[in-house]
Amino acid sequence: MKFGINTFLFTSPFTNASTKLFPKFKKWGFDTVEIAIEDPSHIDPAHVKRELDRYGLVCGTVCAAMGPDRDLRGDAKSQKTGLAYMTALLDQMVVLGCPSLIGPVYSAVGRADAVPADEYKKQWATVVKNLKTLCKYAEKRGRQVCLEPLNRFETDFINTCDQGLKMIKDVGSPALKLHLDTFHMNIEEKDQAAAIRKAGKHLAHFHACGSDRGTPCNDHIDWKPIAKALKDIRYDGDVVIESFTTDVKVIAKAAAIWRRMEPTRDEIAVKGLRNLHRVLGK
């Protein structure tokens, strides 16, 4: 099990200049960096890889930023744009030495509409078709795609582990895996540990976030059963802190962060990592 930090906590967008964060991440003790690439043109992946190597870090995951124009259940144009964007990310991941593309790869974040059952069924079939295309390309490039259920306020499409597993079954690609997040599960799952066990071998990425999007293990979530469930399924992937603060204005607005959750964002990273080491082990 490796511990990582998502770059959204400190910057948006991530650019070549953002690699100045790497010495700090290394000093704090992180193993991996989860890079949120909002647009492939923002970085030279070869440069970012050199800087990662320089500080003894790896890009464990690339986080997809799914805006309204990147929606695999949207109109034809947004489907095409979404596929082109994620295909470009997979190409950059090869250069970065990054194995996993993660996030809500099926739809635009914030699209939460109640639709009739027949319409939902049509959207589901459209996403299955598009993810088959994406995952076929991921297989060719030797990468995997980790699908993240989001809470009801951020999507009406895939909210739970069960729905994520159904999508994985319907797509039928070995490149499609599950990505669970304690913040979203805190809202949508009856039992987080049970959801982790149900995910089992399909779980390939894990976000450890406080119930308020603050420091993991400094909240009301019961972390001991979560730790035991991860151990029981022999989870050996990354555990990443994905928190947001008011310091990064664009992301704060997108994630509805209206107040300061912790004294500083550095504290979220440093204390969060220390807490995760204590609860999950190093």
Dihedral sign of CA atoms 89, 94, 97, 98 in order: positive
Distances in whole angstroms, Cα of residue 15 to Cα of each of 19, 168, 231: 7, 32, 36
Question: Residue 61: in which H helix or E strand, if any?
Answer: strand 58-64
Q: Residue 33's closest CA among 4, 2, 13, 62? A: 4
CA distance 83 to 42: 18
Active centre residues (catalytic): 148, 242
